[in-house]
Amino acid sequence: MKNDIKKLIDAQKSFYNEGFTKDVPTRKNILKRLKSEIKNREKDICDALYADFKKSEFETLLSETQYILGELNDAIKKIHSWTREKTVSASLINFPSSAKIIKEPYGTVLIIAPWNYPFQLAISPLIGAITAGNTAIIKPSELTPNTATIISEIIKAVFPENYVSVVQGDKDISTALLQERWDYIFFTGSPQVGKIVYQAAAKHLTPVSLELGGKNPCIIDETAKLKQAAKRIVWGKFLNGGQTCIAPDYILVASNIKDKLIQHLKNEIIAAYSENPKNSSDYPRIVNKNNFDRLSKLINNEDIAFGGVIDKTDCYISPTLINEPSLESDLMKEEIFGPLLPIISYNSEEEIQSIITSYEKPLSLYVFSNRRQFSNKIMKQFSYGGGVINDTIVHFLNKRLPFGGVGHSGIGAYHGDLTFDVFSHHKSVVRKGTWLDIPLRYAPYSKKMKWIKILEKLR
């Protein structure tokens, strides 16, 4: 398999060097073909995601296919403006000259996609890679085999193999891919695997984007509209069965309103998924047995305020509220990535700070409050990838906002034109005039020292 991978990469590099992918009208046409194929296969994509972990058609349309079609529309519409050379002001010190920025593709890129949003998080970076003029190899997750198959079929229908290819397999295949030299690597997944990807990229000084995760806090003070807050938290937390990197990981709630919040959360869970969420067509399953076992162990010996129903034969864990877990518990040691929601009370802002800063920088942070001064303070006080006041996860939907982490929650950001920028090298070019050559910069310098500080101001 390693030889096959090497041959495929070499074929893509040769294809890239022929210059076919650098032609902007060609890129635009291939994006249109990709859009058409996804629209034609949308029902198949929905069926595949349901087969993989019972993801509902509505959630698939919302967070997978329609999201991607929107990104394709944006790229098709704006590709000419994104790829256009940008003229910038020339510096006086270079007089006479002109200056510009040329956006060029990196070359052959590797995209490693996760299992939680397996279609969206494979195709979204691909759109940027193609729009920027790269060739690409996609490694979809082996944990969602039906979706991986659909991705492979769509790519084969649109692209020649030496332009874009899908390589399927387990972690051994991922390891083999990472042993090769790439021009760019885009990885979405856990911080633990992100470290492995980063180490592999470092061997060749390959640039990377790492879209990871973390323990995302959700702060609720006594001025919040609790019923509305509960509704929005339940939606953001239990969307995709809680298997969302930007989902609220734990709640920090003012102690005097905790009981009221828990009751509202219970009511909203029942309103969304009925008394028995297992029978709801809108509630997904845990992706596989390993993740089910990991999550089910996290609630052992915890005070379950609501839910806690599990069924291993169906990889089912109900939406579960956990009251006041110890910060030293397994539940609170790392990102949960499932339908378990710890609720911890606080009595002071100092407690909020102490808890949040005891973890690595999160991918997202949420605060529910009608005190503008308090919510603004929280947003400025902590470091995180992206945040929302009085809602959850909706920042992801705005293509004009960068999406990415900081520190352990990720490196780099994308969405909209930033996805194009991620896969583009912006190189600078200065054209110097020949009709004048100011002698000041040339040696000997002995009589020119007084000009140094003046020259610095002319840059």
Spatial distance between the Cα atoms of 203 and 180, rounded to a whole number of angstroms: 10
Query: Residue 458 has what pLDDT?
Result: 67
pLDDT in tens, 39-90: 999 999 999 999 999 999 999 999 999 999 999 999 999 999 999 999 999 9
Lookup result for tokens 């967070």: 63
Q: 151-161 burial, b for 16+ CB within 10 Å, e for fewer? A: bbebbeebbee
Task: Identify any residues that bridge with 111 across adjacent strands, giving them in sequence order.
Answer: 138, 186
Query: Residue 8 has what pLDDT?
Result: 93
Lookup result for tokens 């000419």: 80
Label residue 446 by pLDDT band (50, 70, 90).
Answer: confident
pLDDT in tens, 199-231: 999 999 999 999 999 999 999 999 999 999 999
Query: Residue 96 has what pLDDT?
Result: 92
Spatial distance between the Cα atoms of 20 and 134, rounded to a whole number of angstroms: 10
DSSP string, 227-286: HHHHHHHHHHHHGGGG--TTS--EEEEEGGGHHHHHHHHHHHHHHHH-S-GGG-TT----
The set of catalytic residues is 211, 245
- Average pLDDT over the chain, rounded to an integer: 96
**Residue 345 predicted with pLDDT over 90:** yes
Residue/partner pairs of 294-298 with CB below 8 Å, 24 or more apart: 295/336, 295/337, 295/338, 295/339, 295/340, 297/330, 298/330, 298/331, 298/336, 298/338, 298/340
pLDDT in tens, 154-209: 999 999 999 999 999 999 999 999 999 999 999 999 999 999 999 999 999 999 99
Residues 6+ apart with CB under 8 A from 425: 103, 104, 105, 106
Handedness of CA 347, 213, 322, 298 (dihedral sign): negative
Query: Residue 445 has what pLDDT?
Result: 85
pLDDT in tens, 303-322: 999 999 999 999 999 999 99
Spatial distance between the Cα atoms of 297 and 284, rounded to a whole number of angstroms: 19
Q: Angle formed by the axes of helices 226-238 and 258-273, to 10°? A: 50
pLDDT in tens, 369-401: 999 999 999 999 999 999 999 999 999 999 999
Q: Across residues 12-17, what is the average pLDDT?
A: 96
Spatial distance between the Cα atoms of 22 and 132, rounded to a whole number of angstroms: 8
Task: Identify any residues that bridge with 341 across adjacent strands, giving them in sequence order.
Answer: 321
Label residue 92 by pLDDT band (50, 70, 90).
Answer: confident
Query: Residue 311 has what pLDDT?
Result: 96
Stated pTM of the model: 0.95
Spatial distance between the Cα atoms of 396 and 402, rounded to a whole number of angstroms: 8
Q: Across residues 242-253, what is the average pLDDT?
A: 98
